[in-house]
Amino acid sequence: MNIAQLLLAAARAKGERPALCIGPEVVATYADLAASAAGLAAALRGRFGLQAGDRVGIVMTNTPAYLEVLFGIWWGGLVAVPINARLHAREVSYILASAGTKVCFTNKEVESVVGSIAVERDFAVVSVDSPDYARLAAHDPIALQRVEAGGAGWLFYTSGTTGRPKGATLTHR
């Protein structure tokens, strides 16, 4: 079981229908989104050497690429660690370290903050606004990776209002 199976099923059944739009503009069809997710998954597993269950951070403002990244993480059998882009750099750093992320996706609005943390914490940073991201998404795709139903799909962190943020896992089920 893998959450990305939902995207794969939609791509097979409704491939040319709009999946991501900004207003009236179609950004991606279901087939496009599935192809990008499979390419990102291949890059994460191959280029970055990630293994099933490894954690991938997402510190981004609202953009269609967010869903490409999220489904790419799941497609590869990895765990998504979404982090609020409005958090202070100190909080983002703590969460990335606590989660043990090996790669973090970001965009131009917050990439300088994440980049400075990466230097301290030693993980790869990929900005969805960079030419490198387009190459990753166009990577030769891999098959959807199998994940146990009870396997982690998301690792969310609490707000930390009464202390340090704590991770809460949601499974693919």
Residues in the chain where the model's pLDDT stays below 70: 119
Q: What integer pLDDT is reported at residue 73 of this predicted model? A: 98
How far apart, in whole angstroms, are the C-alpha atoms of residue 49 and residue 57? Answer: 15
Residues in CB range of 161: below 8 A, 6 or more apart? none
How far apart, in whole angstroms, are the C-alpha atoms of residue 79 and residue 152? Answer: 6
- Tokens at 44, concatenated: 């994460």
Q: What integer pLDDT is reported at residue 123 of this predicted model? A: 86
Q: What integer pLDDT is reported at residue 111 of this predicted model? A: 86
φ, ψ dihedrals at 99, nearest 5°: -75, -20
Q: What integer pLDDT is reported at residue 151 of this predicted model? A: 93
How far apart, in whole angstroms, are the C-alpha atoms of residue 114 and residue 121? Answer: 10
Q: Name the pTM for this structure.
A: 0.93
